[in-house]
Amino acid sequence: MNPEEPDVVHPGLKLVIQIPCYNEEETLPATLADLPREVDGFSCVEWLVIDDGSEDNTSQVARDLGVDHVVRITQNRGLANAFMAGLDASLKAGADVIVNTDADNQYDGACIPVLVSPILVGEADLVIGERPIEAVDDFSPLKKRLQRIGSGIVRTFSGTEVRDAASGFRAFSRSTAIRTQVFGKYSYTMETIVQAGWEGLRIKGVDVSVNPATRPSRLVKSIPRYIWRSAQTILRSFALYKPLRFFLAIGLVPLLISLALLLRWFYFQLFTEDQASRVPSLVGAAMMFLLAVLIWMFGFLADLLSVNRRIVSDTRVMLRTAELEQLAPLAGTAHSKMGSEPTLTRPESMLRAER
């Protein structure tokens, strides 16, 4: 079997393609028209739209166009919340693999078979669709440069090889979707990669193509704001999942200041005849050194707490899996295996759900 194009249909496997939306009644028809209803390796493909408090007719348009599941959030809460609501609804719908794509039809739906292939053949838990950034005419030179820098920082912090950390076109195995948590409100793209690296999940990037832009990006309304929010997300994720390294790095700042003040004191004492008091330098050096030690102590305590966080995360996964197991009989689902991982599957059809 060609690993890039699985030609074997796994009995009962379901793919759910989720689309977070906010005021997308104009772009949604083209996005849905670009999505497949059949994908090699799956016996069932369903669409799920998350309407994040839209003020237009996004939900009705989705229903009229045959979307299988519409999740309606009454108040706009942001992309990260809509993404997590979609994962939750997809899991309850019995998805074995979940593909997330954008409602503006940025990503080529024909690339979905390539996106899910590494999961089907057991090579990855999370697959990122990597855009040809340099070839995208809709991206300014500054945005392309920021994408490269941001992806490089995420690679360093997460210990992964992802080349397009900001891509929202990605596929999740069922177990990975269950483990995924997003604490930020702005976006989910970078945080989920850092978390996946911390969890030791297998992440793979595949090349995908993009469609011409249909509207300006709503996440990147201004470059300074985008940089600030992305930096917040990266730093928060680093502190959350790798606290010891984070606080050790922060503590180096006062330590270097302390060493500089101490060297200044030695220089004036040993190599000049100036008899002026240099006590303030010594006091400042001592204070900076104590601050560095204090920060490192915080890092050590946070690292100990991260062990508890991992236990809590594992407990949450077990409880969530048990909850989904209880929901399975109500919808007539069965057990199957994809690779070595137990998954839940669903029959060909399911009633449309709406919140």
pLDDT tens string 287-335: 999 999 999 998 889 888 877 777 887 888 888 888 888 876 654 454 3
Question: Which residues make beta-bridge pairs with 97?
Answer: 15, 173
Position 340 pLDDT exceeds 70: no
Q: What is the 3 state secondary structure string of 193-211?
A: HHHHHHHCCCEEEEECCEC
**What is the pLDDT, as a whole number, of residue 231?**
76
pLDDT by residue (tens digit) across 100-142?
A: 999 989 999 999 999 999 999 999 999 999 988 777 777 778 7
Q: Which of 117-131, 228-242, 259-273, 327-341 has the highest mean pLDDT?
A: 117-131
Residue 129 is predicted with a pLDDT of: 93
- Reply yes or no on whether the pLDDT at 346 is more than 70: no
pLDDT in tens, 159-208: 788 888 889 999 999 999 999 988 877 788 888 888 888 888 999 999 99
Name which residue leads in pLDDT, 52 or 145.
52
pLDDT band at 222 (very low <50, low <70, confident <90, very high): low
pLDDT band for 221, please (50, 70, 90 cuts): low
DSSP lists the bridge partners of residue 98 as 16, 172
Whole-angstrom distance, CA of residue 29 vs CA of residue 61: 8
pLDDT confidence tier of residue 271, bands split at 50, 70 and 90: confident
Residue 336's pLDDT band (boundaries 50, 70, 90)? Answer: very low
Category of 208 on φ-ψ map: left (φ > 0), alpha (ψ -120 to 50) or beta:
beta
DSSP 14: E
Considering the chain, what percentage of its residues have pLDDT values greater than 90? 41
Quickly name the fold that domain 14-241 has: Spore Coat Polysaccharide Biosynthesis Protein SpsA; Chain A (3.90.550)
- Residues near 4 by Cβ (< 8 Å), separated by ≥ 6? 114, 117
Domain borders along the chain are 14-241, 243-345
